[in-house]
Amino acid sequence: MTIRQHLIDPEICIRCNTCETRCPTGAISHDRNYVVNVDICNFCMRCVRPCPTGAIDNWFDVETPFTLDEQHGWQFLPPRPAAADVAPPDAFDDEAADLLARAAGAMGGAARAPASAAHPQVNVYTRADPAHATVTGNARITESGTDSDVHHIILDFGSEYFPYLEGQSIGVLPPGTDAEGRPHAMRLYSVASPRDGEKPNTNNMSLTVKRVMRSDGQPGLASNWLCDMAVGDRLDVIGPFGSTYLMPDDPTTDLLMICTGTGVSPFRAFSLRRRRTAPEPGRMYLFFGARTPEELPYFGPLQRLLQSQLHRELVYSRQPAAEREYVQDRLLQRHDLVADALRNPKTYIYVCGLRGLEEGVETAMAEICARHDLDWPALRLQMCDEGRLHIETY
């Protein structure tokens, strides 16, 4: 069984003692090197942000943990395991970990990041010490007059650096308390921008937020609060969260992205990242479902892209005078394309959106595999193991 171990890189560490003074558990001590006691560290992350060098941000999955004596003897960190095995845990915050575990779907996606994914930071900002964001943009991105009110919201973090990768989520803290007088539960939102910012090289990000009505007819708390925000309004943000639902940095990989509604948010980030950094990237396929074109977030901007930049399959379930079509129907219709993607060991599959999506995609994949002489249960297992199948539904 592997254990995740928090380690300090002695080559980079400048021995400033900041981490030791911030650690609430006494897990960090120093002699020759600064070291972390694996039996005491509870992954609270309080030491990570204050470290001026990043030497503290190392997480290895190991069979046998390194002892304190071993850590004191190092001049360098030992050779790193595969990239997928050096990510921090998904979230150190119980609330976020619970939400992410539920979002990983009934069948479960990969428990590891793509091998070439960049190293994610998580829990940099916490409830006790949140980042303070300012809204610098808020625009509706579905047509007015339709039932689906989805907003593209831009948050600026000013001088508080908020690091994130495409595919990660942030936690938003609605102000006030619930009926029992406790602070409201955080709500997670996927980041819709690439890692270098909504505008390149800025400390900002965008979200794609749907105004939700609860089944009792009451407005959803956080989504309505966010969608009603004006430019200049401030909010508390924590995170980022998520260390597996990440994109491969290898530009030659293919991405098969399957979503409904606001599930497009991480895929906007993935495709913008590719377009900013890889002039001749691997292929990107987007299967995107909504009720109508008017209710499809980012419909206008998506129309402006060439199919060669982003192969789009836009699917509508409530078009007047047309048969209802769902994402899984279109996957089946394009079975040759999907089967080719499944056969390619460089294809990464991402599913994101409302809960019901996962089951439909699973059924479609199984049927496509059966038609093309592929073994879906075995392939699914292999893709999860290789960090190539990721599910996030909510």
Ligand X SMILES: Cc1cc2nc3c(=O)[nH]c(=O)nc-3n(C[C@H](O)[C@H](O)[C@H](O)COP(=O)(O)OP(=O)(O)OC[C@H]3O[C@@H](n4cnc5c(N)ncnc54)[C@H](O)[C@@H]3O)c2cc1C
CB of 226 to ligand X, least distance (A): 8
DSSP classification of residue 151: E
Question: Does 46 participate in binding ligand SF4 (rule CB under 6 A)?
Answer: yes
* Cis status of the peptide bond prior to 240, with omega within 30 of 0: yes
**Rg of the Cα atoms in the chain:** 22
Closest to 122 (Cα-Cα) out of 183, 163, 156, 63 = 163
Read off the tokens for 66: 């390194």
The answer to whether the CB of 290 falls within 8 A of the CB of 208 is no
Applying CB under 6 A, among 210, 291, 330, 388 the residue interacting with ligand X is 210
Contact flag: residue 56 with ligand SF4 (CB under 6 A): yes
Residue 212 interacts with ligand X (CB under 6 A)?
yes
> Residue 387: which region, alpha, beta or left (left: phi > 0; alpha: psi -120 to 50)?
left
Residue (of 192, 186, 150) closest to 167 by Cα position = 192
List binders of ligand X among 311-370 (CB under 6 A): 354
Q: Which partner from the list ligand X, ligand SF4, none does 167 bind, CB cut-off 5 to 8 Å by kind?
A: none
Alpha-carbon distance 196 to 177, whole Å? 34
Closer Cβ to ligand X, 214 or 304, answer by number: 214
267: nearest Cα among 250, 285, 283? 285
* 210 belongs to an annotated ligand binding site: yes
353 marked as binding residue? yes
CA dist 225 and 229 (Å) reads 6
Binding flag, residue 369, ligand SF4 (CB under 6 A): no
State which of residues 188, 247, 258, 296 lies at the interface with ligand X (CB under 6 A). Answer: 188
Over the range 49-67, which residues count as b (16 or more CB within 10 Å of their CB) and which as e?
Answer: bebeeebbbbbbbeeebbe
Q: Minimum Å distance from CB 199 to ligand SF4?
A: 31
- To 5 degrees, how large is the angle CA 245–CA 246–CA 247? 135
Q: Which does 190 bind (CB under 5 to 8 A by kind): ligand SF4, ligand X, none?
A: ligand X
Question: Of 211, 213, 209, which Cα lies nearest the Cα of 298?
Answer: 209
Q: Does 187 bind ligand X (CB under 6 A)?
A: yes
Q: Which is nearer to ligand X, 197 or 263 (CB)?
A: 263
Report how far residue 14's alpha carbon sits from residue 30's, in angstroms, rounded to the nearest whole number: 12
Assess contact for 33 and 8: CB atoms under 8 A. Answer: yes
| Rounded Cα gap, residues 231 and 37, in angstroms | 46
Of 7, 35, 38, 55, the one binding ligand SF4 by CB under 6 A: 55
Distance separating alpha carbons of residues 107 and 385, to the nearest angstrom: 14
Nearest to ligand X of 223, 244 (CB atom)? 223
Which 143-172 residues touch ligand X, going by CB under 6 A?
169
At its nearest, how many Å lie between ligand SF4 and the CB of residue 37?
8
* 215 labeled part of a ligand binding site: no
Q: Which stretch binds ligand X (CB under 6 A): 44-52, 135-143, 216-224, 321-329?
A: 216-224
Choice between 103 and 286, CB closer to ligand X: 103
Does residue 243 have a known ligand-binding role? no
Q: Give the nearest distance from C-beta 269 to ligand X in angstroms.
A: 10
Min separation Cβ 236 and ligand X, Å:
15
Q: Per the annotation, does 190 bind a ligand? A: yes
Of the candidate residues 222, 235, 255, 365, the single one contacting ligand X (CB under 6 A): 222
**Residue ranges for the binding site for NADP(+)?**
190, 210, 262, 317-318, 353-354, 392
Question: Where along the sequence are the contacts to ligand SF4 (CB under 6 A)?
Answer: 6, 8, 13-19, 22-23, 25, 27-28, 34, 36, 41-47, 51-53, 55-56
Question: Where along the sequence are the contacts to ligand X (CB under 6 A)?
Answer: 99-100, 103, 169, 187-190, 208-210, 212, 214-215, 220-224, 261-262, 265, 354, 392, 394
